[in-house]
Amino acid sequence: MTGTGSVFPSEFSDLEPYRNWSVASEVERLRLRADAPDKELRDFYDAIIPRMEKITTYLNGFPLGDMPNEARRLFDLAKFAMEIANLAENGRSPGALRFDVARFTPMHEKGAR
Amino acid sequence: MKTDMGNHRWVKENLDLGTDPVPLESCYSDAHYQLEREAIFKRCWLIVGRVEEITKPGEFFVKDLPVADTSVLVVRGMDGQVRAFHNMCSHRANKVVWDERGTCKRYFTCPFHNWTYDTTGALRFVTDEVNFFNLKKEELGLTPVACDVWEGFIFVNLDPRPRESLLEYMGGVADQLKGYPFDQMQETYGYSVDERVNWKVLLDAQNEVYHLPYLHKTTFPDFFADNDHRCVRNLAFRRFGRHCVYSTERSDKHKVIRAEEFALKADPMSFVAASTMIGAFDFYTIFPNSVIGFLGGTFLHYRLWPMGPEQTVWEIRLYTRKPKNAGEVLAQEFLKAGLRDTLHEDAGSHERTQSVLKSGAKKHMILQDEEVQIRFFHKMVDDHVRAAAG
């Protein structure tokens, strides 16, 4: 936690309402995406997308893999924005409801490879 | 190059493929599956990995290939050379290596009775050797499997005497892709999906762009050039022996969404098409069970591993340039999310198709001219099965 009480760096504390969507794994992001109402996801997308350049400039100041916790949380939140971009702009995939996305085992997160 | 939006273009260049409906029985029949195992999977060159997986001497991986009734051990020897062996002990045929990957210190030791082999496959040590009978250790090495490398892809061929070298097998594909910067790419994302589907049904679902505006209407709706009736047309379809490529041109009607606009700026290289590319999306079917699909500055690699006539493990890998900063990671996350969601929609369609095939209610699939790739692939499967039958 920083002095502002935000889990994110102070200049991004306006994204605080979305802190629960800052999660470290793709599997978790997909679960959150599946469960959240479309409108909430669109509101989040509309809030974060205009800030993406500033977020990137901030995050690019740290080496990958060596970010302070609040930067890492902001990075994870921005990844969630990328996960939901098509849904927010084009609508939820009707097909996605009919095949359990958990069956796509992400090899890049298993640590086995 | 501009896409010719006319009808019936490919049939004229591919008269041997004809225009008849294509039978579906081979997509569920166990008898046909057994023929494919012998004629295709035990005779063709198969991609089992990339050289980046085993860069140091002693590094190895194991690829179980139930479709070919074996498990293959691939190792970079102490001399730096990549070799493959049946993962099977000469003593009593147990698997010598039980781990999926790792590094050996010069030797592989079978955990069953401690028989020990070096990285060239030679048998170096037998426990209680004096108590065996006429043991000829020099003839009891691991059984080699033909192994060769093309552009960093490690291939094996389970035929004890492959009919062609790997380069002969790849033919024109190798010429077309010469100069692609494979060595600058890394496997950034990967998925493994175990599906109740025949391997050919899985490939067919990917092997055309006719379905994009419909099945993928929210995930990949307007990316490729279409005609006045909103029907996508291929920019190119080329055959290279038993392999082929189709290519599509980017549509000027594509709506760039805001996250994409961000990604384009954050990691432009991921969107710049390589000089070896024909169009915006080049999809190579490397017979029998691999696909290499180039999209902008990235490429996809699929491997389809049959587990039975109606079960396939779909291995999906997305290669990108190694991201240097958070912005590039986010851009690649955007690309990955779109692709994964598209493939996720495809996976549903694979299993829905397979679930009704055996009813026999439809005995053929009806293909249009833009599905020529599917027609070609099924002909290649048939040709191999027939040739093996003599």
Q: Which residue in B has a C-alpha nearest to residue A87's C-alpha?
A: B218
Q: Report if residue B168 sits inside a domain.
A: no
Do residue A105 and residue B324 have CB atoms under 8 angstroms apart? no
Q: How many contacts, defined by CB atoms under 8 Å, are there between A and B?
A: 122
Q: Report if residue B15 sits inside a domain.
A: yes
Q: What are phi and psi of B286, to 5 degrees?
A: -95, 105
Do B226 and B301 belong to one domain?
Answer: yes
Do B310 and B329 belong to one domain?
Answer: yes
Q: Is A105 at the interface with chain B, CB within 8 A?
A: yes
Closest CA to A86 of B95, B221, B312: B221
Q: Report if residue B1 sits inside a domain.
A: no
Of the pLDDT bands very low, low, confident and very high (cuts 50, 70, 90), residue B227 is confident
Do residue A59 and residue B338 have CB atoms under 8 angstroms apart? no
Q: Which residue in A has a C-alpha nearest to residue B220's C-alpha?
A: A86
Token pair in block for residue A60: 């690019």
Q: How far is A15 from chain B (nearest CA, A)?
A: 17
Do B37 and B83 belong to one domain?
Answer: no
Rg (CA), chain B: 23
Do B49 and B37 belong to one domain?
Answer: no
Q: Above 60 in pLDDT, residue A3?
A: no
Give the percent of chain B with pLDDT over 70. 100
Residue B124's CATH number: 2.102.10.10
Do B59 and B35 belong to one domain?
Answer: no
The pLDDT tens digits for B38-88 are 999 999 999 999 999 999 999 999 999 999 999 999 999 999 999 999 999
How wide is the angle at C-alpha B293 spanned by C-alphas A26 and B158, nearest 5°? 100
Q: Report if residue B4 sits inside a domain.
A: no
Residues of A within 8 A of B333 (CB-CB) are 79, 82-83
Q: Above 50 in pLDDT, residue B331?
A: yes
Residue B276's CATH number: 3.90.380.10
Q: Above 70 in pLDDT, residue B218?
A: yes
Strand B59-65 to B243-248 pairing: unpaired
Of the pLDDT bands very low, low, confident and very high (cuts 50, 70, 90), residue A113 is very low
Question: What is residue B356's predicted lDDT score, i.e. its pLDDT?
Answer: 98
Between A100 and B376, whose confidence is greater? B376
Q: Above 80 in pLDDT, residue B380?
A: yes
Do residue A56 and residue B330 have CB atoms under 8 angstroms apart? yes
pTM of the model: 0.95
Do B375 and B231 belong to one domain?
Answer: yes
Of the pLDDT bands very low, low, confident and very high (cuts 50, 70, 90), residue A2 is very low
The pLDDT tens digits for B301-319 are 999 999 999 999 999 999 9
Do B131 and B186 belong to one domain?
Answer: no
Do B53 and B72 belong to one domain?
Answer: yes
Give the percent of chain B with pLDDT over 90. 91
Q: Which of 11-50 (A) contact B at CB < 8 A?
A: 45, 49
Closest CA to B207 of B234, B231, B227, B228: B234
Q: Using CA atoms, how far apart are residues B225 and B249, in angstroms rounded to an integer?
A: 6
Do B352 and B236 belong to one domain?
Answer: yes
Which strands sit side by side in the sheet containing B101-103, from one edge to the other? Answer: B45-50, B153-157, B144-150, B82-86, B70-76, B59-65, B101-103
Q: Above 50 in pLDDT, residue B20?
A: yes
Question: What is residue B390's predicted lDDT score, i.e. its pLDDT?
Answer: 80
Question: What is residue B188's predicted lDDT score, i.e. its pLDDT?
Answer: 97
Q: How far is A40 from chain B (nearest CA, A)?
A: 17
Q: Report if residue B251 sits inside a domain.
A: yes
Q: Report if residue B322 sits inside a domain.
A: yes
The pLDDT tens digits for A22-67 are 999 999 999 999 999 999 999 999 999 999 999 999 999 999 999 9
CA-CA-CA-CA dihedral for B342, B346, B349, B353, to nearest 10: 170
Q: 């009813």: which residue's tokens?
A: B359
Residues of B within 8 A of A92 (CB-CB) are 218
Average pLDDT rounded to a whole number, residues B178-201: 97
Q: Residue A82: which of B192, B317, B330 has the nearest Cβ?
A: B330
Q: Above 60 in pLDDT, residue B371?
A: yes
Residues of B within 8 A of A24 (CB-CB) are none
Q: How far is B247 from chain A (nearest CA, A)?
A: 24
Question: What is residue A112's predicted lDDT score, i.e. its pLDDT?
Answer: 37
Q: How far is B330 from chain A (nearest CA, A)?
A: 6
| Number of domains into which chain B is organized | 2
Distances B83 to B72, B122, B138 between C-alpha atoms, Å = 10, 12, 18
Do B184 and B279 belong to one domain?
Answer: yes
CB atoms within 10 A of CB B20: 10
Do B28 and B89 belong to one domain?
Answer: no
Classify B65 as helix, strand or coil.
Answer: strand
Average pLDDT rounded to a whole number, residues A1-14: 80
Q: Above 50 in pLDDT, residue B36?
A: yes
Q: Using CA atoms, how far apart are residues B246 and A95, in angstroms rounded to an integer?
A: 25
Return mean pLDDT, chain B: 96
Question: What is residue B253's predicted lDDT score, i.e. its pLDDT?
Answer: 87
Q: Above 90 in pLDDT, residue B199?
A: yes
Do residue B344 and residue A49 have CB atoms under 8 angstroms apart? no
Q: Report if residue B185 sits inside a domain.
A: yes
Best residue in A84, A90, A105 for a mutation probing chain B (most B CBs within 10 Å)? A90
Do B71 and B88 belong to one domain?
Answer: yes
Q: Residue B257: which of A62, A89, A112 has the nearest Cβ?
A: A89
Of the pLDDT bands very low, low, confident and very high (cuts 50, 70, 90), residue A1 is very low
Best residue in B187, B189, B215, B218 for a mutation probing chain A (most A CBs within 10 Å)? B218
Q: Above 90 in pLDDT, residue A101?
A: no
Q: Using CA atoms, how far apart are residues B339 and B178, in angstroms rounded to an integer?
A: 26
**DSSP conformation class of B275:** T
Beta carbons of A83 and A33 less than 8 angstroms apart: yes
Do residue B259 and residue A79 have CB atoms under 8 angstroms apart? no
Q: Above 80 in pLDDT, residue B244?
A: yes
How wide is the angle at C-alpha B209 spanned by C-alphas B204 and B213, nearest 5°? 120
Q: How far is A16 from chain B (nearest CA, A)?
A: 20
Q: Report if residue B174 sits inside a domain.
A: no
Q: Which domain holds residue B289?
A: 10-42+179-389
Question: What is residue A4's predicted lDDT score, i.e. its pLDDT?
Answer: 54
Question: What is residue B214's predicted lDDT score, i.e. its pLDDT?
Answer: 87
